[in-house]
Structure 1
């Protein structure tokens, strides 16, 4: 029996973000590899969704490590330790194929060699997620052969705005922001208002994201079967 994939993220902050998350889920459904349920609301909704699934399940975060504090907090409140047929995967992080996609998005958005680069993440309470963001910045730097600064929207320092300002003060007339988000929401609107030269769009339901989510589900399915 193929375990149900339960996609989890906080979609309660705005309707546009929730719609984007539903679009991501639909793209996963269209692959036809596993039954899919979604929990894009409150902790009570997440718990109810998990409890309603008959048979094995894999909880898969529909957000990137360090990209969504609210979703991290939502997932951390889920307890499935009493279920032998359930497990959860980690949020997508420093995955080479995803970082390669981010580098391609930078170039498509108009980044040129010599432009400053800021990796824009959310931040949050999880130090492992912070390490993941740092690793992504290092991998992206190697991809574009240029230093990459990290800026944060809602936690930690420096802020995205401060990182952009620092690069300009250091001689970069053009600064690109690489958006470390899976789907678009109000935070992306804030990035567009910072005044960077270019801002990449969130990944959305791109093939590399769907491939990676399904790979996580397959790996977790193998662990449940062991």
Structure 2
């Protein structure tokens, strides 16, 4: 008996080896086997499949996929002050891969955890920044690392009112979060993208969207 397959894992899941076996959308892909390598919290799978190449021949391939669920992120902005509200928190993966201290500036974000993207990002915005937002503006949806991670990230934007500032430190303590909000002039945030002080992909994408098509676009 294997946890996550025959018996519940620590999150109560079973049948994790069935995920992806019934896909039929691409006739050039035939799923052969799905093996669960780890399900301690998120799920690491190894999938064996047959792939038909452009010249018609088939090959047997294997890929590992990391499934952490889908997520959402939001850019909080104030057009009167021309500012954006970001969060700063420690990111171990970035720290062990060359970031000087692992303290990344980011847009508020989190996993859906069974909620709709809109519900999830309203919850995450309040947990991480303290601000309650109304109906967020949907921007786009992106697969952030499609070579290995299944996550699809839903991008949003929403205004915030500095007059209703809730404080500076936020996050869910029970989850080990230690988050600080950082308000920046939008022009400075763009400069920090250019010089590398902002190095988080979702944040860079939302800031560039805001400059090109969003609240800070020319003539807005």
- Which TM class, normalised by the smaller chain length? under 0.3
Normalising by structure 1, we get a TM-score of 0.27
Say which structure, 1 or 2, has more relative contact order (CA 8 Å, 6+ apart): 1
Normalising by structure 2, we get a TM-score of 0.28
Greater Rg over alpha carbons, structure: 2
More strand by share: 2
More helix by share: 1
